[in-house]
Structure 1
């Protein structure tokens, strides 16, 4: 950014001087020399120096056998996430990634239906997700924070509504968070009964209650900041509306509408899901 400002100011200064110079102030030979140096030699030296200085940062990040691996699968229109810690059982999640600061993490990028593209501008480059193929991307977060990601390949009606967050956490906090993901969600109460009675468990996993994999994993939904793959803030009202009218909220979503579900029952299911943190 600073370099662009310097170049713009320099060009503007040259234009100012050139417009106010008298005729014959510079000879043809002097003009050609200026073009050679300002248009050829200086840019070549500057670009060569920039290339040499950035080459080390362009080397692939090496991963070790005990580094964390996360499989991310693009679906229409959400993200299937599976954490694979070395020597431990895998942990499934959806629509949000968490990574430890200061550690290398290998992302295994796949597509479950059509072409998608994984892109987190603040953390890593863009990489396509192709059905039947696994592409690998290594990320290394240097600071804690939340990084916005987006599908960068047109994949259907709700392509623009297919986003996600990558949350970089301090290593100790991440380890504690990952361990907590192994605990089952609370499964009792009216919310669980309505969830099962309306067939929600036929598509969605809630650990300890259902293990379907057609739709997003809803275990610990209450800990996520957004709904519908980053398309809206997770609020009670938004969750109730999504439960009842998913195709209206997210065009092309495979989840059917539930107009027969009363507002009270939808609110009960929503409260039950929100309690799962």
Structure 2
């Protein structure tokens, strides 16, 4: 009888009641409450400038002031938005002409570099990769004068064409790094061997087999390069002007007048940030996944 009872007791599943009880202890509840309180506090700190930005953009000039910056508008108006749009519209279109080619061209070059450096090994490949990465650590300020001399010597038209060239060159290192890690850890060697068996060369393998499965990497590099080109101010102020430059130059001119219109400046800042915000909203969930895709071996 004793042996049977012992065997039955050993076969019965262990109760999880004590663990569940421990999960609801006052200490655990208090820790969770503190965690959520801290999250809400930091969210409030982050959103305060956005609140002032949005509220001020809908105020009239007489309502704008330090004492009433937290107050809602007494009379909501979109006049400042209309004024900001009239000032930013030409440069808004030009910035798309800058950011989209930069994102596409630098991503394609980075994908080609990453594929060659990860799968087609050659003497000095590691040295070449190191030299490419070195470009990530060169500050913009250090190359401004030589860069301007180069684009002048080459004969690239000033304004958007010059900025496209510069951002593509500066985007190659980070795009190469992302794609090299992605191809080295995610793309199976058997796929490339199958292409070789079928008689595909380097370019055919890359175009027909590698590019169709490179979407996660392209999501990361396109978001990265689009945002970098859209938000750039240093290259823009040095290599363009308000007549042929991107939206950051026009926004600076709108906000830096002798008698600045704060409501129009706030509206202009919101208009300027909308494209990058939309890109992150639409593609943000694939951004982290694309970054992590090349971080570990599958």
TM bucket normalised to smaller: under 0.3
Q: Which has the higher strand share?
A: 1
Say which one has the larger Rg. 2
Q: Which has the higher helix share?
A: 2
Q: Which has the higher contact order (CA 8 A, sep 6+)?
A: 2
